[in-house]
Amino acid sequence: MNLLRKNGAAAVISARTYADFTTQATFEIKKCDVHKLDEGPATQVVMTRDEGLQYYRTMQLMRRMELKADQLYKQKIIRGFCHLYDGQEACAVGIEAAINQTDHLITAYRAHGYTYTRGGTVKEIMAELTGRRGGIAKGKGGSMHMYCKNFYGGNGIVGAQVPLGAGVALACKYQGNNELCVCLYGDGAANQGQIFETYNMAALWKLPVIFICENNRYGMGTSVERAAASTDYYKRGEFIPGLRLDGMDVLCVREASRFAADHCRSGKGPILMELQTYRYHGHSMSDPGVSYRTREEIQEVRSKSDPISLLKDRMLSNNMASVEELKDIDVEVRKQIEDAAQFATTDPEPPLEELCNHIFHNNPPLEVRGTHPWSKLKSIS
């Protein structure tokens, strides 16, 4: 340790350097359950120190962003529908670590985390939540309708994103660009008829699509056991190969997603994944989340399976980071979130004249009828 004099006070500086840390380590992960597959993903995986720090930062940022959204919602600064993702961070981070930014992704309405991993900024997401001009959808989409390049939302109709995702995968196959589409839905949507229609078409046409069921155990306030005659969601594709894995472990998700991506890119057609995960908040902000499950259940998951704690413990026990370094990341993340929240509460709301803009892409300006025939609005692409 060194002592440094600054403003007359002695500051202690650690002499520990990056050279002291393990640059990569091998980890044992849980074996996946498989359906119609001869073998599953590897159970021994390698993670570098840089990867671990990146995963930690992204998951912390997603967690803090959702907690800030909760706070702003309770202050009535965010209004309307708002579905939070805290607890499920390993799903988004693990999937993104296994695919390319040029690949495509579509999800349901619990979409804030994916908007960030797909390329949106925290400022744009927070400003969209508060309905401001600087939002990622210009303040007109809100919590459920955020988009960016190769990310198709944020979809508010239960299960409706699944056939759309297969359509994106059809475009990938048609263009022959070796890209794929990740198509996410929850256990609550898994009984939708349109999902089974999509499975059939995707299998017939061998579409490069990864169907992912994020099973967080509850569809709104109904447990999976009460809602589904079979809770083996990874087998629901019947004629489509499937994997079931621990969705609270970022390395499990990453390895299974890599396996699935290789399957799609090799021309074998679709594959189905079930990520066993958990949400800490209720279904949405209007759901306290404790009328159909106990506080003790939530606390037990937090204490035994939290995705951020699991990664943190792995990194510390393998000398891949120091407690101080991770604390510094936490401080940086908190500041980033506070700055974004400040922007989201001070940025102006979009003016009425912009209400009908962007109905069409690259189209001449057109008149749009308002709430009555003599109310005219203009739409500009």
Query: What ranges do the domains of the chain cover?
Result: 24-286+294-350, 352-380
pLDDT greater than 60 at residue 149? yes
5-26 per-position pLDDT tens digit? 444 444 444 445 667 999 999 9
- Which pLDDT score, from 0 to 100, does residue 339 have? 98
- Which pLDDT score, from 0 to 100, does residue 19 have? 72
Q: For residues 285 and 283, what is the distance between their CA atoms, to the nearest angstrom?
A: 7
Mean pLDDT to the nearest integer, 63-91? 98
- Which pLDDT score, from 0 to 100, does residue 373 have? 86
Residue 4: pLDDT band with limits 50, 70, 90: very low
295-350 per-position pLDDT tens digit? 999 999 999 999 999 999 999 999 999 999 999 999 999 999 999 999 999 999 99
Task: Show the tokens assigned to 345.
Answer: 């509460």
Q: For residues 96 and 94, what is the distance between their CA atoms, to the nearest angstrom?
A: 6
Mean pLDDT to the nearest integer, 128-149? 97
Who contacts 87 (Cβ-Cβ below 8 Å, separation ≥6)?
A: 216, 277, 278, 279, 280, 281, 301, 302, 306, 307
**CB 248, CB 277: distance < 8 Å:** yes
Q: For residues 331 and 324, what is the distance between their CA atoms, to the nearest angstrom?
A: 10
Task: Give me the residues paired with residue 13 across strands.
Answer: 2
pLDDT greater than 70 at residue 3? no
- Which pLDDT score, from 0 to 100, does residue 18 have? 67
**Exposed e or buried b for every residue in 266-283, given b needs 16+ CB within 10 A?**
eeebbbbbbbbbbbbbbb
Q: For residues 91 and 20, what is the distance between their CA atoms, to the nearest angstrom?
A: 31
Mean pLDDT to the nearest integer, 53-74? 98
Angle, vertex CA 278, rays to CA 310 and CA 125, nearest 5:
90
- Which pLDDT score, from 0 to 100, does residue 17 have? 64
pLDDT greater than 60 at residue 164? yes
Q: Which CATH superfamily is domain 24-286+294-350 in?
A: Thiamin diphosphate (ThDP)-binding fold, Pyr/PP domains (3.40.50.970)
**106 membership: H or E segment, kind and range:** strand 104-106
- Which pLDDT score, from 0 to 100, does residue 370 have? 87
Nearest CA among 175, 64, 186 for reference residue 113: 64
Mean pLDDT to the nearest integer, 231-250? 98
- Which pLDDT score, from 0 to 100, does residue 11 have? 45
**What is the average pLDDT value for the chain, to the nearest integer?**
95
Amino acid, single-letter form, for residue 128: E
204-230 per-position pLDDT tens digit? 999 999 999 999 999 999 999 999 999
- Which pLDDT score, from 0 to 100, does residue 47 have? 98
**CB 147, CB 106: distance < 8 Å:** no
252-271 per-position pLDDT tens digit? 999 999 999 999 999 999 99
Q: pTM for the whole thing?
A: 0.93
Distances (CA, A) of 236 to 139, 167, 207, 251: 38, 20, 17, 24
What is the sign, positive or negative, of the torsion defined by CA atoms of 291, 296, 302, 304?
Answer: negative
Percent helix, percent strand, percent coil in the chain, to nearest 5: 40, 15, 45
- Which pLDDT score, from 0 to 100, does residue 322 have? 97
